[in-house]
């Protein structure tokens, strides 16, 4: 793999320091204009989809590389490889092509893949999604195994009633997730219908010492379905101002 971007981003520097304020990740950019919008706002991470078959924001590899480089060029954004992929060679091929240091395993990848990825790409931070439906977490019994395998950050996300995962707009059972998060030894992000209006609803999670930040997709978009500056600004102000 090539060396990571010489420029250290706020997100990279704060990976293991939840005391530095709320990280904001906006997921699913598909155009340079959307990346530029995020780079002009108080956004730390941009999620770029690759290896998400049928996903509305899934990108061909060339476009994924182009937007990853565009994110780094903003001087403020850290690009994140968001993927359902389970093949190590596919992941390492993508990482070798772009200055990306975060991988979000969004799907049901096992701890063994995390371990292999950390061995193959030791400079990469692994963000593992934990899928929550009501008061059940699919990966609940494997939390210690994921930590042992090398997960750096967890992301709690809500599964839709029909089983869909990723960018569903569904919300978390905050009290249930708080019981899971309390037992983690890694920091965590939260997703699932996060908006400018519902920060107070998540107080049981934001008050925990491991709370690192939020991941937003649906509510960052305007009526045209594209990432909208005013929506991002509102979410950023609501969540970061009270950090």
Q: How much is the pTM? A: 0.91
* φ, ψ (nearest 5 deg) of residue 71: -65, -45
Closest C-alpha to 210, from 241, 236, 189 = 189
Q: Which residues of 100-119 are buried (b: 16+ CB within 10 A; e: fewer)?
A: bbbbbbbbebebebbbebbe
- What pLDDT is stored for residue 157 in this prediction? 93
In the numeric block, which tokens belong to residue 167?
A: 């960018």
- What pLDDT is stored for residue 1 in this prediction? 37
In the numeric block, which tokens belong to residue 154?
A: 């967890």
Give me the tens of pLDDT residue by residue for the chain, a chain 243 residues long: 333 343 345 556 655 565 668 999 999 999 999 999 999 999 999 999 999 999 999 999 999 999 999 999 999 999 999 999 999 999 999 999 999 999 999 988 999 999 999 999 998 999 999 999 889 999 999 999 999 999 999 999 988 665 555 555 678 999 999 999 999 999 999 998 899 999 999 999 999 999 999 999 999 999 999 999 999 999 999 998 754
In the numeric block, which tokens belong to residue 132?
A: 């929550």
Q: Are 208 and 187 in contact (CB under 8 A)?
A: no
Q: Which CATH architecture has domain 19-240?
A: Alpha-Beta Barrel (3.20)
- What pLDDT is stored for residue 88 in this prediction? 98
* pLDDT (tens digit per residue) in 201-217: 999 999 999 999 999 99
The whole-angstrom separation of Cα 126 and Cα 86 is: 13
- Please identify which residue in the block is written with the tokens 């649906």: 218
- What pLDDT is stored for residue 235 in this prediction? 97
Q: What residue ranges do the domains of the chain occupy? A: 19-240
- What pLDDT is stored for residue 170 in this prediction? 74
């Amino acid at each position: 793999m090539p060396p990571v971007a010489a420029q250290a981003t706020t997100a990279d520097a704060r990976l293991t320091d939840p005391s530095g304020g709320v990280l904001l990740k906006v997921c699913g950019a598909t155009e340079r204009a959307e990346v530029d919008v995020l780079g002009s706002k108080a956004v730390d991470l941009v999620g770029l989809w690759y290896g998400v078959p049928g996903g509305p924001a899934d990108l061909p590899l060339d476009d994924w590389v182009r937007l990853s480089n565009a994110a780094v060029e903003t001087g403020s954004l850290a690009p994140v490889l968001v993927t359902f992929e389970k093949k190590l060679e596919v992941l390492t091929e993508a990482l070798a092509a772009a200055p990306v240091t975060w991988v979000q395993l969004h799907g049901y990848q096992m701890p063994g893949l995390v371990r292999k990825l950390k061995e193959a790409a030791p400079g990469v931070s692994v963000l593992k999604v934990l899928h929550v439906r009501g008061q059940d977490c699919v990966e609940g019994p494997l939390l210690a195994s994921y930590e042992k395998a090398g997960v750096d950050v967890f992301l709690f996300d809500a599964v839709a009633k029909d089983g869909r995962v990723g960018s569903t707009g569904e919300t978390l059972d905050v009290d249930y997730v708080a019981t899971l998060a309390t037992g983690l030894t890694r920091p965590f992000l939260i997703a699932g219908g996060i908006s400018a209006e519902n920060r107070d609803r998540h107080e049981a999670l934001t008050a925990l010492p491991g709370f690192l930040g939020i991941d937003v997709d649906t509510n960052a978009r305007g009526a045209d379905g594209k990432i909208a500056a005013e929506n991002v600004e509102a979410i950023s102000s609501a969540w970061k101002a009270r950090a």
